[in-house]
Amino acid sequence: MAEHPILVTGATGKSGRRVVSRLRAAGHPVRAAARSGEHPFDWTDASTWGAALEGIRAAYVVQLDGTNLVRPFVAQARKHGVRRIVLASGRGIDDPGYVRDRTGMRDGIADSEAAVRESGLEWTISRPGWFAQNFSEGFFADAVAAGELRLPAGDGAATFVDAEDIAEVVAAALTEDGHAGQTYELSGPSAVSLAEAVEAISAAASREIRYVPLSIEDYVAELVDQGLPRAEAAIFADVIEPLREGRDAHVSDGVQRALGRSPRSFAEFVKTATWPGKFG
């Protein structure tokens, strides 16, 4: 099996990029696939799937949220002789009350989970909560760089998970035995409120960064003022709801179960991250 590369989709993203690095550091051949990646791959262009899957033994599947493409992709993977699939999913996928879902995104991801479970391949599902990296390179990064994070999250807290931990779990599931049939719920070791998160980042970046809690109405109005269609702004507000309501404040045991150690803390993440605007 050693000569066959491992396919990593979403290879330029927050989790995929780190999976690629870890696999390569351990000496595994990797096919790093994304639209802008080393290996061109587009979920919306099925003619790119075959070349991505040719000759591989295992795949990390980062789906295109809002689509139902994982089921046909997994069927094709099976035909190509792929033996192992690790799927990027998310917390709350099995809980209809976790987040309001106007777009059908949750149904799509639930179908992806069902597709890998029914595939007959060795499968593992990664279900992370909010990534800590949302502050440094994701959803909140621009606001953090600008010095003010304005969200309808009240005094909500979450057990933010470090994408380095996600990548280590995924790399282990791709390369080691003992993870087949596991669904790993991944979180950090303790809940951190947005105010605490921003305070820690502010200290590390040596800049004042504030968290400003907004009402849902004010948040939507601000996004509309910035040019976002109202329907899209409402979807952004929905995404924040689990944070506001504390639905992501519990600790999960996936990192411990998969790696036999505790997850990295938010403080460790803050120390090692690069902060946008730090020197600006």
Ligand X SMILES: NC(=O)c1ccc[n+]([C@@H]2O[C@H](COP(=O)([O-])OP(=O)(O)OC[C@H]3O[C@@H](n4cnc5c(N)ncnc54)[C@H](OP(=O)(O)O)[C@@H]3O)[C@@H](O)[C@H]2O)c1
Binding site for ligand X (CB under 6 A): 10-16, 34-37, 41-44, 62-65, 88, 90, 128, 130-131, 134, 138
CB of 278 to ligand X, least distance (A): 21
From residue 114, give the alpha-carbon distance in Å to each of 70, 77, 123, 204. Answer: 10, 15, 11, 42
Q: Indicate the SS3 state at residue 151.
A: strand
From residue 280, give the alpha-carbon distance in Å to each of 7, 138, 145, 162, 209. Answer: 37, 19, 9, 25, 13
CB of 232 to ligand X, least distance (A): 16
When the beta carbons of 123 and 131 are compared against ligand X, the nearer one is: 131
The values of phi and psi at residue 211, to 5°, are: -105, 125
| 252: DSSP letter | -
CB of 79 to ligand X, least distance (A): 20
| Whether 14 contacts 131, CB under 8 Å | yes
When the beta carbons of 145 and 221 are compared against ligand X, the nearer one is: 145
When the beta carbons of 37 and 263 are compared against ligand X, the nearer one is: 37
CB of 44 to ligand X, least distance (A): 5
When the beta carbons of 221 and 236 are compared against ligand X, the nearer one is: 236
| 163: DSSP letter | H
CB of 206 to ligand X, least distance (A): 26
User: Do β-strands 58-61 and 157-158 pair in parallel, antiparallel, or remain unpaired?
Assistant: unpaired
When the beta carbons of 207 and 245 are compared against ligand X, the nearer one is: 245
CB of 275 to ligand X, least distance (A): 18
Tokens 């005094």 locate to: 155
CB atoms within 10 A of CB 237: 20
Task: Dig out the tokens for 243 from the structure.
Answer: 């944070």
When the beta carbons of 130 and 275 are compared against ligand X, the nearer one is: 130
CB of 67 to ligand X, least distance (A): 9
| Whether 111 contacts 103, CB under 8 Å | no
CB of 15 to ligand X, least distance (A): 3
When the beta carbons of 88 and 209 are compared against ligand X, the nearer one is: 88
Tokens 């303790």 locate to: 190
CA dihedral 31, 32, 34, 36 (to 10 degrees): -120
Q: Indicate the SS3 state at residue 2.
A: coil
| Whether 265 contacts 190, CB under 8 Å | yes
When the beta carbons of 37 and 156 are compared against ligand X, the nearer one is: 37
